[in-house]
C-alpha cells in the first residue's frame, strides 16, 4: 500500500531506524510512501543491503540523485535527515 502524501515524521523515524541498523523496519516505512524523499531513502536502504540493481531502480525515482552521489550510506542517511528536518521548518 502506498500513501501518496509524504510524512516527514515517519521518514525521520525510518532514517533513525536505518542508522540504528534496523534495515527491515526502516524499509517497511519507506515503501509506504511514493515521494522523492521516500524513494531516496528506499534507494539507500537497498544500497546498504547490497542490492545494486534495486538501489539504482529507486534512485531513478528521486529528484536526480544517483547511486554514486555518496560513497558512505551513513553520510547519505544524515543528508536525508537534514533534508527532512528542513522540510518540517
Within a domain: 2: no
How many domains does one find in the chain? Answer: 1
CB contact at 8 A, 71 and 25: no
pLDDT digits (tens, 9 = 90+) for 22-35: 999 999 999 999 99
> What are the φ and ψ backbone dihedral angles of 61, each rounded to 5 degrees?
-105, 20
Within a domain: 1: no
Cell of 54: 534495486
Within a domain: 69: yes
Within a domain: 3: no
pLDDT at 45 over 70: yes
Residue-level pLDDT at 88: 79
The whole-angstrom separation of Cα 85 and Cα 53 is 29
Check residue 41 and give left, alpha or beta (phi > 0: left; psi -120 to 50: alpha): alpha
Determine if the pTM surpasses 0.75.
Answer: yes
- Domain extent for 73: 8-88
pLDDT digits (tens, 9 = 90+) for 50-78: 999 999 999 999 989 999 999 999 999 99
Amino acid at each position: 500500500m502506498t500513501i501518496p502524501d509524504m510524512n516527514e515524521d515517519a521518514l525521520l523515524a525510518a532514517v533513525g531506524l536505518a542508522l540504528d541498523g534496523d534495515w527491515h523496519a526502516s524499509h517497511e516505512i519507506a515503501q509506504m510512501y511514493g515521494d522523492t524523499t521516500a524513494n531516496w531513502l528506499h534507494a539507500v536502504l537497498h544500497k546498504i543491503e547490497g542490492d545494486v540493481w534495486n538501489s539504482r531502480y529507486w534512485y531513478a525515482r528521486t529528484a536526480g540523485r544517483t547511486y554514486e552521489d555518496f560513497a558512505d550510506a551513513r553520510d547519505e542517511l544524515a543528508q536525508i535527515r537534514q533534508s527532512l528536518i528542513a522540510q518540517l521548518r
